[in-house]
Amino acid sequence: MADRDRDELGKARNLRPRDALGRPLPYGAEGVARIPEDLTLAPEETLTYAQELLDDALAFNAHEVLEAAWKNAPAAERRMWQALAQLAVGITHIQRGNRTGATAILRRAAAGLGEADSPDTHGVDIDGLVRHALGLAEDLLHDNEIAEERLRPVLRRDATR
């Protein structure tokens, strides 16, 4: 069995490069820049960075940024950040062609956003994102074509691109 990548505590890590959709590439291959595992940003910086990644069709990387926020957030905000990360994962599954997985995760994201403790947290467009996630899931169920632009949801109310 090949040696696995491990951190200083022996925890398994995957240091293989990844493609734009987050799929592992062979060692030595050229991949997209990775998001640091220990990323810590202020909420506004997190949302800005995740939005830039979504706008660049890098939903997997946006998921990693949002997941870092989820892990570092105060308890009252964790459900929202988790659901935002799930939204990005759902979009990643659409990009990868996994319609069934995308549908399930997008529904989970919508439910999680609906359960968020505070709908005004950091200006996140909770209602708009719930509608967006459910609309994508519905289109996937009916085998409707999804335009690339719909894979770049706007995370904050009153945001401009």
In this model, does residue 28 exceed pLDDT 80?
yes
pTM given for the model: 0.88
Map out the domains of the chain with their CATH numbers. Answer: 1-34 (no CATH), 43-151 (1.10.3450)
The rounded percent of the chain whose pLDDT value lies above 70 is 89
Pick the residue with more confidence: 137 or 13?
Answer: 137
Amino acid, single-letter form, for residue 161: R
- The pLDDT, as a whole number, for residue 1 is 44
Residues 6+ apart with CB under 8 A from 84: 50, 66, 69, 70, 109, 113, 124, 129, 155
User: Are 117 and 42 contacting, i.e. CB atoms less than 8 angstroms apart?
Assistant: no
In this model, does residue 89 exceed pLDDT 80?
yes
Q: Mind listing the pLDDT tens digit for each residue in 33-51?
A: 889 988 999 999 999 999 9
Q: Mind listing the pLDDT tens digit for each residue in 100-136?
A: 999 999 999 999 999 987 767 899 999 999 999 999 9
Give the three-state DSSP class for 156: strand
- The pLDDT, as a whole number, for residue 140 is 98
